[in-house]
Amino acid sequence: MITRQFRSRLLRGTKFESLVWFGTCSLRFNVEKSVLTTIKLDDISIIKAVKKRAYKKRISDSKKCSQIDLSDAVSVDDQNSSAPVENSLGTERNHEVKLTPLYSQVKTTIDQFESNSKKHIVLTQVGSFYELYFQHAIKYAPELNLTLSSKKIRDMEIPFAGFPDHAVDKYLKMIFDLGHTAVICDQTNGLYENKIQRPVNRLITPGTVIDDSLRDYHNNNYLLTIIFPKDPLKKLDGVNVGLAWADVGLGTFHVLETTLSQLMTHVSRISPSEILINEEVDLETLTSGKWYPELVEFKRYFITRQKLPSVRKKINYFFRRFVDPEHNIKAAYDNFKQKEQSAMISLLHYLDECIPNYKTNFSSPTRSVSNILMQIDPKTMLDLELIQTRQGGFRTGSLVSIIDLTLTHAGSRRLKSWLSAPSAERSTIQERLSLVELFKSNRLLSEELRLMMKDTADMRRLMRRINNGKVDPMELVLVARTILQLQNMESLIHEQSSHIQKLLLPLYQTLSDDGLLEKLAKELLIVIDVESLGKRPENRFDTTVLRKYWSITKTVSPKLLSLRKRYSKLVNKCTQVLKTYENELKANNINYKGLHLLKDVRSGEFLLEVKSTNANSLACIVAIFKDRLRDKTRSSCRLVDPEWTELGKMLVETEYLILKEEEKILESFRIRLLTLTNDIRKASYIIEKQDVLISFSILARNMNLTKPQIDESRELDVVDGRHIVVEEGLKQNLGEIQDFTTNDCQLGEEKPTWIITGPNMGGKSTFLRQNALIVILAQIGSFVPASSARIGIVDKVFTRIGSSDNIYRNQSTFMVEMTEAAAILKESTPRSLAIVDELGRGTSMKEGIAIAYSCLYFLSKRIKCRTLFATHYGTELQALLLKDPAFMESIEFQTTRIIELEKDNSIPITDRIIFDHRLKPGISAHSFGLEIAELAGFPRESIDIGRMVMDTYERNR
């Protein structure tokens, strides 16, 4: 029993260390650090009072809510007893309260996934809400900003929290951001039965999202598996790792074997939503930065530790996950390297765990060939702001935000794929550039094709949906229309000149010419009643409006025609029933607003409803039809009519038979469509590629871009180059067109290096970035912002620009700077482009000069790659280079400058100087730091002190 003192403390609301209830609703109180205490059932009223108080305060410290082992707990009055006191909030009079089927199932599911080391949150659909129960509600409601509440079930209060189902994407994102995953128990029930079930439908993780509302189809959503060798840190050099990645929603599957040193470059290119790593791998040590500092970037991704079964399934077991013939999958698999095979099997195992019943419909797995793609590591991608900005990670302000003029989701995905991994194959680049040139010079053709593409659908996404669950006839219509629109595009090209046909038709000839796609598409548009698709009642239980619209044209099959005729006759009889009641109501001069035949959702009865807002009219209706009256409200009466009851049953039965026949017909088309999946994917690729290249032609026209010359040399010759993003920003932010200062860049085998000096804010960093962007734009097949450009194919682009402390790596600014420079020195090749900005600034001047010179020497004399090197140590580096005339010959100095209009320091700084961003041969002796400080708003006194120090320093040199 509870002591009197303890009872009074409970009622006064004394704070306790822990107050926890779970499926058994056991409580433990540690009162002022005294002994463990349990409460007997006689005191249940006090427990409820405490619970009510605790709920009102909305206990938010989920970390304190952990299950308590009460096996050794005793009551206050019985501390000397050796036997523990049995207790539970979910019991009454020493008998366990039995949970309802819903809560019993939820509790079982939670217990099942609690045993797993991963943090799964069980979300159960109840009506139009997703709800959390028991310990999951207590633990995760505060993290998800949900109100913790309770439901009273048979004298037991069950903690719960929930949110509307239309907000599920918002909360799933929060769950992923917290590092958790979700177990979805969707509510299901039959078309004509009220039995509701909530089985575990799937596990949702960032890489296995299949709901359209949860993903952005402008981007790929890759799940990546990485297979490390045993003890990868014992021998770092030459360590190979296996990669496999797939987009579950789009059906693409790729593999690759690479080295540990190149791993993060490929991870950055793939940009996965989730990464699987075997739990046996010492991930903490691997990502510590001690061996390969760039591996610490793993911490930016959603990592799932995977426990593989002791006996792994063979590839034959997973053939069902692919759409291609089994022998094709087996042949591709056998051609892969051992680590690629392991990564592939690992990924497929994980999909069976998360979405066992979902048909992924993957195309044949392909090896990603890295030597035909330009390599861009994560740091470079961020420095150049290709996909997102460095500050804030926004799309606006990035390169893709300027160049993405695509119309379709698929086209946008293709563009980002090219931008993350530009081609390093001359023939591929030339083909794209030729098509962009064609579209640019044939504006009418490109606009007609673009207009046609507006009426196309995302076929990869639709085929994924068609392959799973019941067929939506509208989705079949969209696929059919897209196929026929593609045929229209090809016909339009056949009407063009032979030159245009020669360039464009090879793109379309990847499709099979057997005509099966076109034939199927035409059949679909005949069979499906497109006009009626949008007119069907949404509520399947609402029969107040008799069905007038169907999915399939009635003449498709004799059986369907017969059923539709039967249904029409029944509808006519129903009309006669309504007419009889209308006549009777009019004969009695009764005013009514509506007369409907309906099926009551709750009882399943077929009733006739008469609506009226006139109380006298309702009274008359009740009097006339009192022997048929079922119920009455303030505005309507519902009547039972034997004839309608019989007709209603026949209508429902006939409608069911019609729907089953329609489903059978649609299923036959679905199967036929799936046999043509490869052709449909090829059709999708045609639209994607054409969309991107036409958008490039529009970009070239709008922004005055030029076709670059691509060759196998090691030249980078750009005339009047511009930074396309900065130029566009000047137009938008200033509200007027301000000319961007163009600059040339000539790097070659004789002079592969430029050293750029000049004042702060003089445009050095912009110049460095713009040339890297010009190279990348050229190698994705776009025209470039320059008067002319000759570009020898670049295999890798590296940047060392503007570092800061890295809290992930526990590294200072200087250490980050050195790590980035080391990566360039180790990984660059003679075909690479290195962009180095202010190397050595993070240490003393002498050491900084030494580091800058050593890096410059290695890049220019040893590797001989194309290098743009911005520095404030121009004079000092020149002095060192003069000691090695041969080395000096391979380097050119360029500088920007500040033009001083006035020498009088009393004149405002904005009127004294202007920036000249034009590069000219030479070296800047000053960086104009004090002038920039004055522009930034330094107090005049502070600037004057700085000038005194500068004068003193100059006199003592």
What one-character-per-residue DSSP string does 420-469 give? Answer: HS-B--HHHHHHHHHHHHHHHH-HHHHHHHHHHHTT---HHHHHHHHTSS
Q: Is the pLDDT of residue 487 over 60?
A: yes
Better pLDDT: 81 or 466: 466
pLDDT value, residue 603: 78
pLDDT over 50 at 1, yes or no: no
346's tokens: 């690992």
The yes-or-no verdict on residue 97 having pLDDT over 60 is no
Mean pLDDT confidence for 330-342: 92
Rounded to the nearest angstrom, the gap between the alpha carbon of residue 630 and the centroid of all alpha carbons in its chain is 53
Please, are residues 668 and 466 in contact by the beta-carbon 8 Å criterion?
A: no
- The predicted pLDDT at position 232 comes to 67
Distance, in Å, from the CA atom of 136 to the CA atom of 131, rounded to the nearest integer, reads 10
Q: DSSP assignment, residue 628?
A: T
Residue 157 CB-half CA count within 13 A: 19
For residue 877, the tally of other CB atoms under 10 A from its CB is 20
Residue 85's pLDDT band (cuts 50, 70, 90): very low
pLDDT tens-digit profile of 219-247? 788 999 999 887 766 666 678 899 999 99
Cα–Cα distance, 541 to 645 (Å, whole number): 16
Which residues, in sequence order, are bridge partners of residue 202? 184
Q: What is the pLDDT of residue 189?
A: 66
pLDDT of residue 443: 95
Q: Which of 136-150, 240-254, 273-287, 772-786 shows the lowest per-residue confidence on average (mean pLDDT)?
A: 273-287
Read off the amino acid at residue 813. Answer: T
Q: Residue 500's pLDDT is what?
A: 94
CATH fold of 4-204, please? MutS, DNA mismatch repair protein, domain I (3.40.1170)
Instruction: Determine the Cα–Cα distance for residues 618 and 637; give it in Å rounded to an integer.
Output: 7
Model pLDDT, residue 70: 30
Q: Count CB atoms within 10 A of the CB of residue 715.
A: 18
Residue 751 or 179, more confident = 751
pLDDT, mean over the chain: 81
Helix (H) or strand (E) holding 855: helix 845-857
Cβ atoms of 663 and 565 within 8 Å: the answer is no
Q: What is the pLDDT of residues 356-370, one digit of tens each?
A: 888 888 888 998 877
**Domain ranges across the chain:** 4-204, 214-368, 426-510+518-702, 709-926, 929-957
User: Identity (one letter) of the amino acid at 297?
Assistant: E
DSSP bridge pairs for 255: 244, 367
Lowest mean pLDDT among 27-31, 246-250, 428-432, 938-942: 27-31
CATH of region 426-510+518-702:
1.10.1420.10
Please state, for a pLDDT cut of 70, what percent of the chain lies above it. 84
Tell me the residue type at 712.
Answer: E
Q: CA gyration radius for the chain?
A: 36
Evaluate if residue 46 carries a pLDDT over 80: no
Map tokens 């007893």 to a residue: 81
User: 339 by DSSP, 3-state: which?
Assistant: helix
Mean of the pLDDT values across residues 892-901?
A: 84
Between the CA atoms of 437, 439, 443 and 449, what dihedral angle is there, to the nearest 10 degrees? 180
Q: What is the pLDDT of residues 691-749, one digit of tens each?
A: 999 999 999 999 999 999 999 999 999 999 999 999 988 877 655 556 788 999 999 98
- The dihedrals phi and psi of 274, each to the nearest 5 degrees, come to -150, 140
- The pLDDT of residue 151: 82
pLDDT value of position 24: 35
Task: Output the six-digit token pair for 806.
Answer: 């890295």
State how far the Cα of 162 lies from the Cα of 333, in Å rounded to an integer: 45
Q: What is the pLDDT of residue 467?
A: 80
- For range 143-156, the mean pLDDT: 84
Query: What pTM was computed for the model?
Result: 0.75
Q: Report whether pLDDT(629) > 80.
A: yes
Looking at domain 709-926, its CATH superfamily turns out to be P-loop containing nucleotide triphosphate hydrolases (3.40.50.300)
Contact 36, 99 (CB under 8 A): no
For position 213, what pLDDT does the model report? 67
How far apart are alpha carbons 393 and 389 in whole angstroms? 5
Highest mean pLDDT among 186-200, 289-303, 375-389, 911-925: 375-389
Residue 361 tokens read as 């419909």
Q: pLDDT by residue (tens digit) across 150-192?
A: 888 767 888 989 999 888 888 888 888 888 889 888 887 654 4
801: nearest Cα among 757, 763, 835? 835
Task: Work out the number of other CB atoms within 10 angstroms of the CB of residue 955.
Answer: 7
Within a 13 Å sphere around the CA of 933, how many CA atoms are in the beta-carbon half? Answer: 14
pLDDT category of residue 52 using cuts at 50, 70 and 90? very low
pLDDT surpasses 50 at 613: yes
The two structure tokens encoding residue 215: 């993903």
| 893 has pLDDT over 70 | yes
Identify which of 915, 919, 948, 938 has the alpha carbon closest to the alpha carbon of residue 759. 915
In the predicted model, what is the mean pLDDT of residues 119-137? 88
What is the pLDDT confidence band of residue 118, given thresholds at 50, 70 and 90? low
DSSP secondary structure string, 251-318? TEEEEEEEEGGGHHHHHHHH--SEEEEETTS-HHHHTSSSS-GGGGGGGGS-EEEE---SSPPPGGGG
Instruction: Give the tokens for residue 716.
Output: 């980078």
Contacts of residue 265, defined as CB under 8 A and 6 or more positions apart, other chains included, come to: 375, 376, 377, 378
Give me the pLDDT at residue 23, please: 36
Give the whole-angstrom CA distance, residue 293 versus residue 633. Answer: 74
Which two tokens mark 144? 């998800």
Give the C-alpha separation, 470 to 32, whole Å. Answer: 60
Kindly report each contact of residues 633-636 with a partner whose C-beta sits within 8 Å and lies 24 or more positions away, as own/partner.
635/611, 636/609, 636/610, 636/611, 636/612
Q: Which of 357, 146, 317, 322 is nearest to 251 (CA)?
A: 322
- Tokens encoding 106: 């939820």
Q: How confident is the model at residue 64 (pLDDT cuts 50, 70, 90)?
A: very low
Pick from 254-263, 264-273, 671-680, 932-941: least confident: 932-941
Q: Does domain 214-368 have CATH number 3.30.420.110?
A: yes
What percentage of the chain's residues is helix, strand, coil (to nearest 5)?
45, 20, 35
